[in-house]
Amino acid sequence: MQRMYNNIDIKCSNYAKCNKIVKLVDLEKHEYDCTTPNCLNFECCGSKASKIPELSKKTLCSLECELQLNIKKAKNGKEIFELIKKFSETIVALRPAASNINMSNLN
Ligand SMILES: [Zn+2]
Ligand SMILES: [Zn+2]
């Protein structure tokens, strides 16, 4: 009985856009993927935007991605330095235990 229930076809709540009918058992995961936009830095991180309001309104998955995008837009080394400094301060404020951020992969 449970299996039959899981096999019911349901229209995704985003059906107008995605046109997909999914099994009830897959619906929750599909709707999450379907209604959550990709991170603006998706080509680098491959992630969906975060559900944290601060990040989701910017369509970002993480503060690291925001930093990477800002660095891409920066005009010179001084700006990049300022961005990284601000980022470090934010991270320290948010995550006191994680102050040792590895900056080597931010190029
Ligand atoms: Zn969908
Ligand atoms: Zn990202």
Closest ligand to Cα 33: 1
Q: How far apart are CA 18 and CA 13, in angstroms?
A: 9
Burial 74-104 (b: 16+ CB within 10 A, else e): eeeeeebeebbeebeeebeeeeeeeeebeee
Closest ligand to Cα 50: 2
Is the CB of residue 13 less than 8 Å from the CB of residue 31? yes
How would residue 3 be classed by pLDDT, with cut points 50, 70 and 90? confident
Is the CB of residue 71 less than 8 Å from the CB of residue 83? yes
Share the mean pLDDT of the chain.
88
CA of 78 to the centre of ligand 2 (A): 24
C-alpha closest to that of 91 among 100, 104, 82: 100
73-95 pLDDT per residue, tens: 999 999 999 999 999 998 888 76
27-36 pLDDT per residue, tens: 999 998 899 9
CA quadruple 11, 17, 19, 21: dihedral sign: negative
CA of 74 to the centre of ligand 2 (A): 18
In the structure, ligand 2 is a single-atom ion and the residues with CB under 5 Å from it are 39, 41, 45, 47, 61, 65
Closest ligand to Cα 16: 1
